Structure 1
Amino acid sequence: MTEIAPARQKKLFNQVLLLALFTVFYNLIEGLISIYFGLKDETLTLFGFGADSFVETISAIGVTHMIYRIQRNPDSHKGSFEVTALKITGWCFYVLALILLVSAVYNVIEGHQPTSTLAGVIIALISILSMWLLVYLKIKLGKELNSDPVIADARCNLVCIYMSVILLVSSALWWLFKIPYIDAIGSLGLVYFSIQEGREAHQKAKGIECCSC
């Protein structure tokens, strides 16, 4: 591996830390907006997407702590804070998956449909572009730092892009063609990824490094 000058390494880690903080605040704002319009437009997929953003906020806080820890001591291991954040994240994903599954079944039985999904289309497009740029920058910095944890975190952000694509497809199909139950089907896609992320968070809390994405 190429040695990095200490000053350059510090600068790169500061940039990674800023990206991690940006991820925290971005997910928080995205969650608030998505849940608001999800409730307003009665679209389950957008509501679930917003709830997922809040869970991702908890995960991003843990990642921010990890970056700070590695910057101070590259050879250190997960502390109690990171392990607790991973466990909370994992259980939150499981609870979210259960809520979305029950809600999707209820909406199908009741024949409930969204009043509008235009907000979902707009939010999904913004999210895809933002997350793609974030993943690109994190991988670029991670490679320059020769840091596997930074690169792994970047690749796990791809799940956010996958979820955004699900939101975009389900919202666009309803907005353009009013396809029945497409909103419920879209929420089931979020259920799948929530379960995957929940399992991954618990595995990481146990020290099993993985990235199902």
Structure 2
Amino acid sequence: MDDAIGTPAVTPADGEERRRLLGRRAKLLAIFLVAYNVIEAIVAISAGVVAGSIALIGFGLDSVIEVCSGLIIVWQFSHKIPEARERRALRLLAFSFFALAAYVGIESLRALFFGGEPESSTAGIVLAAVSLILMPAIALAQRRTGRALGSKAVVAGGTQTLLCAYLSAVLLTGLVLNAILGWSWADPVAGLVIAAVAVREGLEAWRGEDNP
């Protein structure tokens, strides 16, 4: 029934259709991230091996964790009732945050105290720049979709994508400073900051808290 000013009333079916479309968007965003991060991992690890860059190899392995995060969201929204998998999805995302923090932290400390002198990597600089431009927009879309759905798991996935953007900035800064000034310590120091943020976000995902 239309209301007094002629606007169609919103029915329960309308709400269900909107949730279905939002769930489909969350799943498609996750699928895109899985595909992108597979490519990113291959390029980063290959370039890191060639240049002898721990930061690039670590960035590539972080992309593997991002693939796992995307697959968790795909898994959740492949269910007819995604809410039924919400708690498990949040716990899996929390573990992926902790894994990311552990790896980045350990590799940053190793690079800071025992790292060699990596060669400059044009491929790594380009890859980090592309991710720095692309990832914040994807993260924003994920977080908006998650909030519209009331899905803390999707919001947490968006936060992890945003962490990928931060890590891209860290990598880009480290590679550029190493290439121009020879400051090989810049990247691992910033990496430790990212690891600390990842721990915080992992704890919030584990508790089921929404991120601001």
For the aligned pair, the TM-score class normalised by the smaller chain equals 0.7 to 0.9
Residue 134 of structure 1, aligned match among 134, 138, 150: 138
In structure 2, C-alpha distance between the alignment counterparts of 1:84 and 1:138, rounded to whole Å:
17
Task: Judge conservation of contact 1:90–1:199 (CA < 8 Å) in 2.
Answer: no
Structure 2 unaligned residues grouped into runs of 5+: 1-9
Q: Secondary structure at the match of 1:114?
A: coil
Task: Judge conservation of contact 2:19–2:149 (CA < 8 Å) in 1.
Answer: no
Task: Judge conservation of contact 2:90–2:208 (CA < 8 Å) in 1.
Answer: no
Q: Could you tell me which amino acid in structure 2 is paired with residue 187 of structure 1?
A: P
- Report the equivalent of 1:147: 150
- Report the equivalent of 1:188: 189
- Report the equivalent of 2:64: 54
TM-score between the two structures when normalised by the length of structure 2? 0.77
Q: Could you tell me which amino acid in structure 2 is paired with residue 116 of structure 1?
A: S
Task: Judge conservation of contact 1:41–1:115 (CA < 8 Å) in 2.
Answer: yes
Q: Could you tell me which amino acid in structure 2 is paired with residue 165 of structure 1?
A: A
Q: Secondary structure at the match of 1:78?
A: helix
Name which of structure 1's ranges 33-42 and 191-200 shifts more when overlaid on structure 2: 191-200
Q: Could you tell me which amino acid in structure 1 is paired with residue 145 of structure 2?
A: L
- Report the equivalent of 2:201: 200
Q: Secondary structure at the match of 2:117?
A: coil
Post-superposition shift, 1:202?
5.0
- Report the equivalent of 1:159: 163
TM-score between the two structures when normalised by the length of structure 1? 0.76
Post-superposition shift, 1:152?
4.4
Post-superposition shift, 1:84?
4.8
Q: Secondary structure at the match of 2:192?
A: helix
- Report the equivalent of 2:46: 36
Q: Provide, for residues 20-79 of structure 1, a one-character-per-residue CA deviation record: whole Å limited to 9, x for no partner.
A: 12222222221121011011012222222112212222233223334445x614476413
Post-superposition shift, 1:146?
4.5
Task: Judge conservation of contact 1:58–1:89 (CA < 8 Å) in 2.
Answer: no
Alignment of 1:44-123 (within 5 A): 44-68=54-78, 72-74=81-83, 77-79=86-88, 83-84=91-92, 86-87=94-95, 89-91=97-99, 93-107=101-115, 112-123=116-127
Post-superposition shift, 1:127?
0.5
- Report the equivalent of 2:6: none
Is residue 24 of structure 1 aligned with residue 40 of structure 2? no
Is residue 170 of structure 1 aligned with residue 174 of structure 2? yes
Q: Secondary structure at the match of 1:183?
A: coil
